[in-house]
Amino acid sequence: MKQPARGIRAVRKVTPSDPGPVSGNELLGFPLDRRQLTAQVKHALTEDGAFNDITTIATVLSDRRARAALVARSPGVIAGVPFALTAFRQLDSKVVIRVDADDGARATAGSSVMFISGHARAMLSAERVALNYLQRLSGIASLTAQYVDAVRGTRARILDTRKTTPGMRALEKYAVRAGGGMNHRLDLSEAILIKDNHLASVGGDVALAVQRARKLAPEGTRIEIECDSEKQVQAALDSGADIVLLDNMSVQQLERCVAMAAGRALTEASGGISLQTVRDIAESGVDWISIGALTHSAPALDLALDFESLA
């Protein structure tokens, strides 16, 4: 499971002769290489009809130049800058962009994320695709940061889940890292998590499920099992599970289960967790708190492209 890395790079300028790294903050581990990034953005621009923007073609002269600031209308954490850069550059290879907030940076309301100078037509046609990526990923990063801030000072780490948009999982999990969270397993092949329906298929026998998983799992793979009662937790610990997922338990139950684990296994709280309850859950002593809402319910961060002048 990937650990988040922090650290914000200084303001930089991106020009045609110096395109810069794929990701503004390489420490976060941007999941696409330049070829993949270019192809994905081109697909999005094509979907939006950006190469045949009849409104812009009809109203804006082909030689008209503009300057614009991409600004945060509300506070949050930025993620997705590489997509915005690529969108503007695909429609204007000579565009000049100053990045004021790299991925992982905290923006205040009214602050600049980037400043763009180039052909007006290209900027207008690329605007929506650039903002769609930035607003979605920044929304996830921002919500994650709220949870991370809420548990600061406790031992608990905030994790995502597999409740992601199909085709966007790697990017949405990247946004979680940008917000200071930690990634749970990327997919079903990466780690073993025995859930309630798996247990049902073996008659609820926790020991048998763990035994079978241990026998077939690649060496070094940690075995996690979902428990909804203290009895199941005890059985999981006795069976040698590495991680115990404590599903929809009260804070009092969590405290007792953490005491039962006593360092023999990591403990993870999950189910029905909100910003109002996450601090109390963290103070129960659990190691991890996994929250599906980070990716399936994060509101988009309010960002906008404001034109400053036309020449």
Distance, in Å, from the CA atom of 71 to the CA atom of 255, rounded to the nearest integer, reads 44
120 burial type by CB count under 10 A (0-12 exposed, 13-18 middle, 19+ buried): buried
Find the catalytic residue in 42, 128, 162, 264: 128
Q: Which tokens hold the place of 222?
A: 């940690």
128 counts as catalytic = yes
238 counts as catalytic = no
Find the catalytic residue in 160, 226, 268, 287: 226
Give the gyration radius of the chain's Cα atoms.
23
Q: What is the DSSP string of 248-260?
A: S--HHHHHHHHHH
195 counts as catalytic = yes
Question: Which amino acid is residue 85, in one-letter code?
Answer: L
Q: What is the DSSP string of 8-54?
A: -PPPEEEBTTB---SSSSGGG--S--HHHHHHHHHHHHHHTTGGG-H
Cβ–Cβ under 8 Å, residues 291 and 133: no
Q: Which tokens hold the place of 118?
A: 């180039």
Distance, in Å, from the CA atom of 102 to the CA atom of 178, rounded to the nearest integer, reads 10
Q: Helices H, strands E: what count in the chain?
A: 11, 13
Cβ–Cβ under 8 Å, residues 191 and 224: yes
Find the catalytic residue in 34, 94, 152, 195: 195
DSSP reduced 3-state for 241: coil
CB contact burial 168-189 (16+ within 10 A = b; e otherwise): bbbbbbbbbbbbbbbbbbbeee
Find the catalytic residue in 196, 230, 247, 283: 247
Q: Write out the H or E segment, with its range, that includes residue 67.
A: strand 65-72
13 counts as catalytic = no
Q: Write out the H or E segment, with its range, that includes residue 69.
A: strand 65-72
Find the catalytic residue in 98, 106, 163, 264: 163
The residues annotated as belonging to the active site are: 128, 163, 195, 226, 247
